[in-house]
Structures are given as C-alpha cells and as structure tokens.
Homo-oligomer: A and B are copies of this chain.
Amino acid sequence: MSGIAEVARLAGVSKSTASRALGGTGYVSDDTRRRVMAAASSLGYVPSTSAVSLATGRTQNIGVVMPYVNRWFFAEVLEGLQQSLLQRGLDLTLYDAKPGTDGRNRIFEDFLARKRFDGLIAVGLEPDHDEIDRLLSIGRPVVSVVGSGEETTVVEIDDDYVARRATEHLVALGHRDIAFVGGGVTTHWAQVDRRRLSGYFGAMEDAGLSNHAVHIVSEVTMPGGYAAAVDALGDVRNRPTAIVATCDEVAIGTIIAARRLGVQVPSDLSVIGIDDHEFADMFSLTTLRQSPREQGRVAVQLLLEHLDDPSRPMRVVRMPSQLIVRNSTAALDPRRSAVVIDSRVRGE
C-alpha cells in the first residue's frame, strides 16, 4: 500500500503539503489540493483516519445540527455543506434536533458531548440560552447558518431588509391593503419570522400605512399558507389586495388557495414571497431570492478558518438577496389591473 511519501512525490509537493491537502484543513490552493487528491486516488492511497487524527488531533469530521431535513431551506443548506465538505475530504455527521423533542435533548446531552467532530455547523437551530452554553462548552468552533446572537459566527440574509424590500415593492405598485402572512404559530423560525414581520411593519409605517397593516398568523409551510389564506381571502370586503408571505412556501400555499377561491393572481391579489424556492418559477412567483446552498458553502469556509486560527473573532456574514419580479405581483390601479409586470426575471 502506498504511503503519503509516494503521494507527495507523484503530486510534486512536500509531504507536509500533501498531508494538509488530504487532511482537508489548513491552507492549500485548490489546484494543489486537486493534484494531491488525484495522486492519492491513482495510487489507491486512503489516509488512515486514526493516523490522520493522531498526526493532526483532528477527526476529519464536521458535525451538522439542524431541526429538519425535509424542508426546502434546510435540505438546500445541507446540499451546500455536503458539496463543500466532500471537496475537502471531510465527513459530515448529521444531528437532527427538532425543537421540544426528547431527541433534541439527547443530541445536546449525549451526542455532542462525545466530540466526534472538529467543529459544528448549526443550521436554523434557534438554540435557547442553555443550548448555546452547551454548544460553546464543547470547546469546538461553531458556525451558525441563520443565527440569533453574537455567540457564534453567523451566515444569514438580512431578514428585516428582505421583508421591507418585499413590502416596498407592493407599495410602489400602489397597494395599501397589504397583509403579512406567516409565523406566530410554532417556535420554529420564530426569530426569523419576527425579524421579517418587523421589516414589514417598518415599511408599512414608512409608507404611512400602519393602520392598514395586518398580520395573518400561519404555519410556515405550504399547507399552512394555504389554510391561512383560505380563511383570510374568504371575506371579499376585507380582503387585502396584496400579500407579503414570510417565505415562498407560504406564498405558494396562498396562491393555491386564491385559485381555489376564484381570486385571480395578480389582478385581484398580488403575492410576493422570500426565497426563490424551486417551485417559484412554476407559480410565476415574485420573490426576494436567497441561496441557502451558497450559505452552506460559506459556512464551511468560515468554520475552516476558525479551525485554522482559533483566535479569530466571531463575525456575522450577511448574504445578498435580490428582487425577482415574475407574474404574481401587479399594479393596483383598476385601469391597469389586467396589465401584469413583464415576466422577465429582473434583478434589482
């Protein structure tokens, strides 16, 4: 069986560079890493985990804690994490931490305490104070995708801003009766929803429409948005002319409900979401785009930086978002109510 020396020779690098490249952490250019990986692969060299661990004190494994895997945002982040970790030869151990379950307690009490990972990535975890203390007490670097405080490095979009931007789009189209659909039911996404709701209220206030603001409570799922919208759109006289949904899944549920009730989108009702979900195009949904997959990739990069330099200060990385205008939003003016916005995807 070939050793690291043969791999280094074939790749034309030093043994320590080959070791760093195969270890997945420490600075090595992408080109060098690829060359070393190719050399290792052609020689059939598989680094022994225990040897790598002994040499580096590392497990070559990253723990990922998330409350759901069967939801668009989480699954997309997970794809991004997977791809990035795979490129670096690192394993991914997944910890499922649904809020309020025994399983979540066990994750925090038992699994994480085993420390079978070099670092942790917490996705949409919204940990309570006790859980944050436990996470930090493990003594491994932690990066959060969507965070709630200053305790860890965080990757996220600016939730207040995106909801504000979505609301302003509808205000600019002449709408006044603009409702916000989402949140207020479960603890899941409580913090994200609160920030988005706050951005909506801020934009309504800035437009002098505070007394038109309405929060329609909804589960943050497609069926949740559907159920909330069936209720809210049923009363013709109090029906809003436009809706800001807390995410695309809720927006799509709203559109499905509108179609059921014979409410035309966008001539009777404009709907805007947040996400650019894989189904957004199918529903011609206007939305604020984010890329959870990219957030996953950035989280891996930040975690590796903390592993390389444990003294590195925490930071908050705000990812960009972009207004994508499709056919679910249109101007209020009755004479123009049949005229829809050009369906070309338009970045602003």
Contacts and interface: CB of A to CB of B under 8 A. Distances in A.
Interface of A: 37, 40-41, 46-47, 49, 61, 69-72, 75-76, 78-79, 82-83, 86-87, 89, 91-94, 96, 103, 106-107, 109-111, 113-114, 116, 222-223, 226, 253, 256, 259, 278-279, 281-283
Which of A70, A92, A113, A259 is the most central at the interface, judged by chain B CB atoms within 10 Å of its CB? A70
21 contacts: A37-B106, A41-B106, A46-B110, A49-B116, A69-B79, A70-B75, A70-B76, A70-B79, A78-B94, A79-B96, A82-B94, A86-B103, A86-B106, A91-B114, A92-B93, A93-B93, A222-B278, A223-B278, A223-B279, A226-B282, A259-B259
A62 to B, nearest CB: 10
Contact of A92 (B40, B41, B87, B94): B94
Contacts of A72: 70
Nearest to A281: B223
* Copies of chain A in the complex: 2
B78 A86 contact: no
Given A46-B114, A259-B259, A282 B222 contact: yes
A228 to B, nearest CB: 12
Nearest to A109: B41
B278 A49 contact: no
Contacts of A103: 82-83, 86-87
A107 B91 contact: no
A37 to B, nearest CB: 8
Contacts of A113: 46
B110 A41 contact: yes
Contacts of A278: 222-223
Given A82-B94, A92-B93, 19 more contacts: A41-B106, A41-B109, A46-B110, A46-B113, A47-B114, A49-B116, A61-B116, A69-B69, A70-B75, A71-B75, A79-B96, A82-B103, A83-B96, A91-B111, A94-B94, A223-B278, A223-B282, A226-B282, A256-B283
Nearest to A45: B110
Which of A61, A82, A278 is the most central at the interface, judged by chain B CB atoms within 10 Å of its CB? A82
A239 B71 CA distance: 35
Contacts of A223: 278-279, 281-282
Which of A75, A89, A223 is the most central at the interface, judged by chain B CB atoms within 10 Å of its CB? A75
A282 B259 contact: no
Contacts of A94: 78, 82, 92-94
A256 B282 CA distance: 9
B116 A91 contact: yes
Contacts of A259: 259
A78 B69 contact: yes
Which of A94, A259, A281 is the most central at the interface, judged by chain B CB atoms within 10 Å of its CB? A94
